[in-house]
């Protein structure tokens, strides 16, 4: 079953950019697009999409206003689009799946669609997303003729290394021939977070976050490692850190 999508953005070129990218993913079906909040509200109620891409700031009724006005039982999964990074808290209060900063790069867009595909089977018709499916407990790593099982709970960070990914766990580094994107899909987002196109971090390993002038940030981990966090990942990372004390069920 395809995921039915509505796009809400007052900029025609922005809507076109989303449409072009959606066309490359066969699991998604565009069923409507709207250029203002008022028509979007009526259209979402009528079309009952599974997923909506919403521009946060629009003349009149904003994207956040549209989502907030919808009855919770009729609120679709939402991916927010904005040129500013000051709306993260409101986004997550509305249970948005993702929060994308414009201009959105292809990898971040694909990551958001992956989240939608993960959540879709676990949400009832017209209901908010239910908890995600169980995540990986171990990673299988080939070392010569041996296969080593690395517990996910011991992984501190994962970094892209050409065609491989480096798993850092308990002072050891393991190489896997796997894309970082695929590994991210196997991890619990309440415990691990993508902070850059080339790195994933276990949230409780972050000891310090220092903002940079370009809205990126430097992360100092508890083992002394220093990583850069890209601005496009910062809103979701900041929100995840604020809720770190909420333990996974």
Whether residue 132 lies inside any domain: the answer is: no
- What CATH code is carried by the domain that includes residue 33? 3.40.50.2300
Domains: count for the chain: 2
CA distance 196 to 130: 27
What's the whole-model pTM score? 0.63
89: containing domain:
3-122
Q: Does a structural domain hold residue 20?
A: yes
**Which contacts qualify for 12-15: CB closer than 8 Å, 24 or more apart?**
14/55, 14/81, 14/102
* Per-residue pLDDT at 53: 97
CATH code, 166: 2.40.50.1020
Q: What is the pLDDT along the chain (249 residues), one digit of tens a residue?
A: 789 999 999 999 999 999 999 999 989 999 999 999 999 999 999 999 999 999 988 888 889 899 999 988 888 999 999 887 666 556 656 767 888 888 888 888 988 898 888 778 766 544 444 444 557 899 999 998 999 999 999 999 999 988 889 999 998 999 999 988 888 878 887 789 889 889 999 999 999 999 898 878 999 999 999 999 988 788 778 777 877 755 544
The two tokens of residue 182 are: 């695929």
Assigned domain for 187 exists: yes
Contacts of residue 20, Cβ cutoff 8 Å, sequence gap at least 6: none
Is residue 247 situated within a structural domain? no
Note whether 65 and 90 are within 8 A (CB): no
Q: State residue 249's pLDDT score.
A: 47
Closest of 54, 96, 82, 64 to residue 239, by C-alpha: 96
92 with 22, same domain?
A: yes
């Amino acid at each position: 079953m395809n995921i039915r999508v509505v796009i809400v953005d007052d900029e025609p070129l922005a809507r076109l950019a989303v449409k072009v990218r959606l066309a490359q993913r066969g699991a998604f079906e565009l069923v409507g697009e709207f250029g203002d909040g008022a028509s979007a509200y009526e259209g979402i109620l009528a079309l009952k999409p599974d997923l909506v891409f919403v521009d946060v700031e629009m003349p009149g009724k904003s994207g956040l206003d549209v989502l907030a006005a919808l009855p919770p039982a009729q609120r679709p999964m939402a991916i927010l689009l904005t040129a500013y990074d000051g709306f993260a808290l409101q986004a997550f209060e509305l249970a948005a799946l993702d929060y994308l900063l414009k201009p959105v790069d292809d990898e971040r867009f694909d990551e958001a669609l992956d989240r939608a595909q993960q959540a879709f089977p676990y949400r009832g018709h017209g209901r908010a997303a239910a908890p995600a499916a169980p995540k990986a407990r171990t990673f299988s790593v080939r070392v010569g003729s041996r296969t080593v099982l690395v517990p996910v709970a011991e992984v501190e960070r994962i970094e892209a290394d050409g065609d491989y990914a480096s798993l850092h766990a308990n002072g050891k580094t393991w190489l896997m021939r796997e894309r970082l994107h695929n590994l991210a899909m196997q991890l619990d987002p309440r415990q691990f977070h993508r902070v850059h196109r080339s790195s994933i971090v276990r949230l409780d390993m972050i000891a310090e976050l220092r903002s940079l002038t370009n809205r990126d940030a430097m992360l100092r981990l508890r083992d002394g490692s220093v990583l850069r966090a890209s601005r496009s990942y910062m809103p979701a990372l900041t929100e995840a850190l604020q809720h770190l004390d909420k333990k996974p069920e």
